[in-house]
Amino acid sequence: MTWVAGSFLDPAVLAPHGPFDRILAVESFQCAGPPESSLHALWSHLAPGGRLVAVMPNAACPIVQRAVASLAGNLWAITPEAMQAELAALPGLARYAMRGLSFGADQWVSPYEVSPWAADAAAWPLANRMMIVVERRSA
């Protein structure tokens, strides 16, 4: 494994090591700037047939909205609808899936309840987080 320090928004950081078959971005989109910028930056480093998995705050959640407001300029979030539009427009897209993560009833066992896969966020209206899986077409 090679450890690289730097911003994934900077092509010079990842390009020498890619393209990548798998990219995991767990709770990093919200700290890097507008989530669509992070999505596009990482997508550009994904190999044909590769898969990107990301977990991020759901901007439709009132708790997230308050956090983004109080940390304006340092914390970002995107709604499921806006993320879905970004995913659907990715060049070379094979398929994508989304689901919500809501606060668990038993936080000791697991902090989040995970919804079924459903791009329509009406299926997971209370989600505090969302997970996306997006796959690039094979060459």
Of the candidate spans 27-35, 64-72, 82-90, 110-118, the one that interacts with ligand SAM by CB under 6 A turns out to be 27-35
CB of 8 to ligand SAM, least distance (A): 4
Q: Is the dihedral angle over the CA atoms 58, 60, 9, 33 positive or is it negative?
A: negative
Q: Pick from 11, 17, 22, 31: which binds ligand SAM (CB under 6 A)?
A: 31
CB of 72 to ligand SAM, least distance (A): 16
Residue 54's closest CA among 124, 132, 114, 120?
132
75 sits near ligand SAM (criterion: CB under 6 A): no
Minimum CB distance to ligand SAM smaller for 24 or for 88:
24
Angle between helices 35-43 and 80-88 (to 10 degrees): 30
CB of 32 to ligand SAM, least distance (A): 4
Inter-residue contact 119 to 45 (CB < 8 Å) = no
26 sits near ligand SAM (criterion: CB under 6 A): yes
Q: How far is CA 37 from the centre of its chain?
A: 11
Q: Pick from 19, 20, 28, 47: which binds ligand SAM (CB under 6 A)?
A: 28
Residue 127's closest CA among 88, 105, 99?
99
| Site residues for ligand SAM per CB under 6 A | 7-9, 26-28, 31-32
